[in-house]
A and B are shown apart, each in its own frame.
Chain A
Amino acid sequence: DTAVSQTPKYLVTQMGNDKSIKCEQNLGHDTMYWYKQDSKKFLKIMFSYNNKELIINETVPNRFSPKSPDKAHLNLHINSLELGDSAVYFCASSARGGGAYGYTFGSGTRLTVV
């Protein structure tokens, strides 16, 4: 049973398209996150979300939007894809007070924009 699962694992798409990446966690965690890993492997948080609050990293373009149908899911929707959006996107989750209990990451979605 995968704790945090992302689909798809690979996504190749053309510039200007709109795409979504899905994330599901079965850990009962109440906070979920999206991270972006660039070509130099640098990981940066994009969003954190629980059922009460969305925290957005101010550097994230508004073409990116998280959507949470329920506590176990946090999908990432991207509009008007650009070449610079090519990266690996990781979903993660944590229990309340994440630091003490750790963060669990999905296996990543490699997005390539052509």
Chain B
Amino acid sequence: AQSVTQPDIHITVSEGASLELRCNYSYGATPYLFWYVQSPGQGLQLLLKYFSGDTLVQGIKGFEAEFKRSQSSFNLRKPSVHWSDAAEYFCAVGAPGGADGLTFGKGTHLIIQP
């Protein structure tokens, strides 16, 4: 069975500082990996996804993520955070066929300090 671990429940970062959110997955084959962001009271917005090719993927809002097969990781990064980045971030894994939907991690709550 596939699973996703986000080891950090909360992360606090100063505005303008760099950010890295960790994600580890368990999946029997090459996974399809996603990062979603959820602002308070809002739905889920796709930041980026990986399913093949270049292991460094660029997303929206200046985010990027790197797939490392050897570490079963797909960490999300941003060089300089803005106060508007405060939100809940979810890493997810999906099977290629899609019928089983996504398995999500428990999320990381990002707090931005002024």
On whether A105 and B44 interact (CB within 8 A), knowing A48-B99, A100-B51, the answer reads yes
Interface status of A107 (Cβ within 8 A of chain B): yes
Chain B residues closer than 8 Å to A53, beta-carbon distance = 99
Closest Cβ of chain A to B82, distance in Å, is: 22
Chain B residues closer than 8 Å to A98, beta-carbon distance = 32, 94, 97-99, 101
Interface status of B75 (Cβ within 8 A of chain A): no
Interface size of A by Cβ–Cβ distance < 8 Å? 29
Chain A residues closer than 8 Å to B38, beta-carbon distance = 41
Interface residues of B in 77-111 (CB under 8 A from A): 88, 90, 94-104, 106-107
Inter-chain contact A108/B96, CB cutoff 8 Å = no
Separation of A40 and B106 alpha carbons in the complex (Å)? 8
How many chain B residues sit at the interface, stated as a range, is 20 to 34
On whether A50 and B43 interact (CB within 8 A), knowing A99-B32, A103-B34, the answer reads no
Q: List 20 A-B contacts (CB under 8 A).
A: A41-B88, A42-B106, A43-B44, A43-B90, A43-B104, A44-B104, A45-B100, A45-B101, A45-B102, A55-B100, A97-B96, A97-B98, A98-B94, A98-B97, A99-B32, A99-B49, A99-B94, A99-B96, A105-B44, A108-B42
B interface vs A, CB < 8 Å?
A: 32, 34, 36, 38, 42-46, 49, 51, 88, 90, 94-104, 106-107
